[in-house]
Amino acid sequence: MIAKSLECVRFGTLFAILLAVMCGAGRARAADASAGAADAYTVITAATMIDGSSQQPRHDVTVVVHGARIVAVGDRAPPDVPATARHIDLGKATLLPGLIDSHTHIFLQGEVPAEGGYDVQLLKQPLALRAARATVAVRRALEQGFTTLRDMGTEGAGYGDIGIRQAIEAGYIPGPRLLVSTLGISTTGGYPLEGYAPELSLPKGVQIIDGPVEARRAAREQIDKGADWIKVYMTHRSWIGADGQLASQPTLTVEELRAIVDEAHGWGRKVACHSYNGIGLKRALDGGCDSIEHGLEITDEEIAQMLRQGTWYVPTLAVYYDDLDPPDTPSGRRDRARIAAHGVSFAKALKAGVKVAFGTDVGGFPWSEPIAREFAREVEAGMTPMQAIQSATSRGAELLGMSGKIGVIAPGANADLMAVDGDPLADVGTLGKAVFVMKDGTVYRNDKSHQ
Ligand SMILES: [Zn+2]
């Protein structure tokens, strides 16, 4: 559409009137088409519905979508739905809200050693290549039923996430609704690339700040350029200390973090903090982070502080099971200590009533892996299947400040839906097998239409 408009402007005056008529007609036809879509009714029927907020599933349901929104949920379509409405029968499938992954990296492609790990992505891959692969990543997420992602930093790909978000919103590429955090923030010594000759100036996977003034400026810059969230790395790396305990390096001071949180909150934005354990995690809470990412080892006092402050927990359990080093090596022992501590922290936080949202860190592992594998880890660590589903629906929506709009099947909500064959309450593994995906009323996948 943009190219067509430009052509119209570029032509000379001789055929100006004729062209104006042609171009005008083109625009009018397009406007009619989009007006038609906005007016269209779709009636979806399914044997079972899990609506994202109710504790029980509902059977033999009809969901009516008008344009981009859900307008009715019931046993049958209301009488005022036109007879011309499109009907999508999902048969025995289970209908759910479109899923929300609250921790992704669309610009990362795993850190596969055979492919050069993390560093090669920053050092050798042109930004256009990374953007092309991000385009594939978002399409894969959508096809798996994830209609909203909170992306947690581009890892050296600058403000590329804003471009991908725009491309999705303008309809150039298929993808989930994106909430982006752009560069991410850490301190000198607090993020890769690392380990090169000290004379070299190398790119970093985040924006580096030192001191509260730079911290505040970084938050302002990122928000000015379009960040929906601010992502801060409050710890760096982890290892087993001389005392045999899991340790991680703290990065920002409380003062630096407070400057960021103060600035973000002033703009109505929130701050997500990568925090493993120890001093860095304590500083994350004292500095007022809105969500703790990973939280491998959380003390009872910190859980109490999270409850007091209303802090969210986005644990990303499954990613820590990937590529464990051999058990008899320091890093192998570290890998196993992380998993063990993580499970304990998750169970304690869940029992205490800490708010938990589903996040995977996909991008940290390849996008070819199923995103839904996290559900099984959540259940294994103590959630009921319904809690796990809600962590990726109504709870995720709450974290993102979008309750009632996404993560729920209810009148007034965005028409973000997915469906799976089978019963996800009996086996959350079925959530990895999307057969139907709708976002904002547009169908992106319907395996049922061929049957
Ligand atoms: Zn991450």
- The SS3 call for residue 410 is coil
- pLDDT at site 38: 66
Cα four-point dihedral sign 302, 303, 307, 308: negative
**Helix or strand or coil: residue 148?**
strand
Query: What is the Å distance from ligand 1's center to 444 Cα?
Result: 27
CA of 152 to the centre of ligand 1 (A): 6
Identify any residues that bridge with 446 across adjacent strands, giving them in sequence order. 436
CA of 430 to the centre of ligand 1 (A): 25
Kind plus residue range of the DSSP H or E element containing 430: none
* CA–centroid distance, residue 380 to ligand 1 (Å): 22
Distance 292 CA to ligand 1 centre (A): 11
Contact 400, 102 (CB under 8 A): yes
**How far is ligand 1, taken at its centre, from the CA of residue 316, in Å?**
9
- The first and second tokens of residue 354, run together, are 């800490």
Distance (angstroms) between ligand 1 centre and the Cα of 310 equals 21
Alpha carbon distances (Å) from 149 to 69, 71, 104, 115, 439: 19, 24, 7, 26, 12
Integer Cα distance of 179 and 166 in angstroms: 11
**In order along the chain (451 residues), what is the average pLDDT of each group of 10 residues?**
35 37 37 53 97 98 98 93 95 98 97 87 96 98 98 98 98 98 98 96 97 98 98 97 96 98 98 98 98 98 98 98 94 96 98 98 96 98 98 98 98 98 97 98 92 50
Under 8 Å between Cβ of 417 and 95: yes
